[in-house]
């Protein structure tokens, strides 16, 4: 092997990681693929990997004109490439409506929060599930979290995204569902609520505290993207390092 040249095994490893990332989230923007490649794969110049995956037909780009951004998703060849690693790959599909006006902002927030969280707490792809994966085998109308990840200690943390100022009725239903999942069915141990609108951050916390003060103190963790970037969150009336909070007791 010539100096600086990748082995076939290493090239395959990098491609599979990239495709697994797209699979978990169903699609991602070019920036998000670059950021994942830097963080997890360890590439200094990730452009080559993304462009090569597209060149050989593993991924395809779709231009979401309403948001003026290209998003990348798996082709059939890409699905076949990670068939052995992903048992649920047969359920994967991408449709343009998945990147529509009603779905893209929330999806974009989910991917961004994962990338920012992963800077401070390693969350392996195998320990992460987005809503579309969690929904496999479930009833169509069943309410599920936007994401779910498992910490090294075994604790499960649900992710709920709030992309706008929600009404009281919606928040009451959210708390009821999360309380049931934590206290009755033990689906997860705590809920990380990520808020996109910084102006809504304080109002949302106050509303949830009024609705269920005991559960608020017990199992709700709050953050916006800026806090996650700094490795911080709000828990039990204090801003704390998220790494400290995520060493969560089961």
Q: Which of 51, 74, 101 is the last residue of a domain?
A: 101
Residues 167 and 66 in one domain: no
- pLDDT confidence of residue 1: 38
| pTM recorded for the entire structure | 0.92
- pLDDT confidence of residue 215: 94
Residues 238 and 134 in one domain: yes
Residues 133 and 174 in one domain: yes
- pLDDT confidence of residue 177: 94
- The CATH number that applies at residue 118 is 3.40.91
Tens of pLDDT along 177-195?
999 999 999 999 999 999 8
- pLDDT confidence of residue 2: 46
Instruction: Tell me how many domains the chain contains.
Output: 2
Residues 161 and 238 in one domain: yes
Q: Which of 86, 101, 116 is the last residue of a domain?
A: 101
Q: Which of 101, 129, 148 is the last residue of a domain?
A: 101
Residues 29 and 115 in one domain: no
Residues 109 and 207 in one domain: yes
Residues 234 and 121 in one domain: yes
Q: Which parts of the chain have pLDDT scores under 70? A: 1-4, 163-165, 248-250
Residues 128 and 158 in one domain: yes
Residues 1 and 21 in one domain: yes
- The CATH number that applies at residue 38 is 1.10.10.10
Residues 47 and 142 in one domain: no
Residues 231 and 113 in one domain: yes
- pLDDT confidence of residue 201: 79
The parent domain of residue 231 ranges over 103-250
- pLDDT confidence of residue 165: 61
Query: What does the H/E/C string look like for the chain?
Result: CCCCCCCHHHHHHHHHHHHHHHHHHCCEEHHHHHHHHHHHHCCCCCHHHHHHHHHCCCEEEEEECCCCEEEEEECHHHHHHCCCCCCCHHHCCCCHHHHCCCCHHHHHHHHHHHHHHHCCCCCCHHHEEEHHHHCCCCCCCCCCCCEEEECCCCCEEEEEEECCCCCHHHHHHHHHHHHHHHHHCCCCCEEEEEECCHHHHHHHHHHHHHHCHHHHHHHEEEEEHHHHHCCEEEECCEEEEHHHHCCCCC
- pLDDT confidence of residue 94: 96
Residues 94 and 21 in one domain: yes
């Amino acid at each position: 092997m010539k100096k600086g040249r990748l082995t076939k095994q290493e090239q395959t490893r990098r491609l599979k990681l990239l495709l697994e990332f797209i699979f978990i989230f169903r699609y991602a923007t070019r920036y998000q693929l670059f950021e994942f490649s830097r963080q997890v794969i360890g590439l200094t110049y990730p452009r080559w990997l993304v462009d090569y995956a597209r060149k050989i037909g593993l991924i395809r780009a779709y231009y979401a004109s309403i948001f003026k951004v290209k998003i990348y998703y798996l082709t059939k060849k890409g699905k076949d490439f990670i068939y052995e690693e992903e048992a649920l790959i047969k359920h994967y599909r991408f449709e343009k409506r998945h990147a529509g006006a009603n779905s893209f902002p929330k999806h974009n927030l989910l991917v961004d929060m994962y990338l920012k969280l992963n800077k401070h707490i390693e969350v392996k792809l195998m320990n992460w599930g987005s809503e579309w994966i969690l929904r496999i085998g479930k009833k169509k109308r069943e309410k599920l979290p936007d994401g779910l990840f498992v910490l090294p200690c075994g604790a499960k943390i649900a992710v709920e995204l709030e992309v706008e100022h929600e009404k009281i009725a919606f928040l009451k239903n959210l708390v009821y569902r999360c309380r049931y999942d934590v206290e009755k069915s033990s689906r997860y141990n705590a809920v990380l609520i990520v808020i996109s609108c910084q102006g809504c951050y304080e109002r949302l916390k106050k509303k949830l505290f009024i609705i269920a003060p005991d559960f608020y103190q017990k199992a709700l963790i709050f953050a916006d993207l800026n806090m996650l970037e700094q490795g911080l969150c709000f828990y039990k009336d204090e801003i704390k390092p998220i790494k400290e909070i995520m060493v969560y007791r089961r």
